[in-house]
Amino acid sequence: MSYSVEFTAAGLESLEEISPTNQKRVLRKIRWLSENLDDITPQALKADLSGLFNPDFSQRFSEVA
């Protein structure tokens, strides 16, 4: 299964601020995640970052029909 990814204007602006090499790395990882999300087991963040990530993706991602 594959998922679609939409970028906000702020996300695109942030992406433009990094080097072209790092842009490619970030976009390659996002593409990989959109294609493999069902095959991984995400883990919640801990310590100071707890609460920033919820491994329940059902509210965040939409399946590509």
Cβ contact 44:53 at 8 Å = yes
Report helix, strand or coil for 39. Answer: helix
- What pLDDT does residue 21 have? 97
pTM, two decimals, is: 0.65
Q: For residues 57 and 42, give the distance between their C-alpha atoms in angstroms, rounded to a whole number.
A: 9
Q: Which segments of the chain are extended strands (E)?
A: none
Q: What's the pLDDT tens digit per position in 20-35?
A: 999 999 999 999 989 9
Q: For residues 43 and 25, give the distance between their C-alpha atoms in angstroms, rounded to a whole number.
A: 22
Cβ contact 4:60 at 8 Å = no
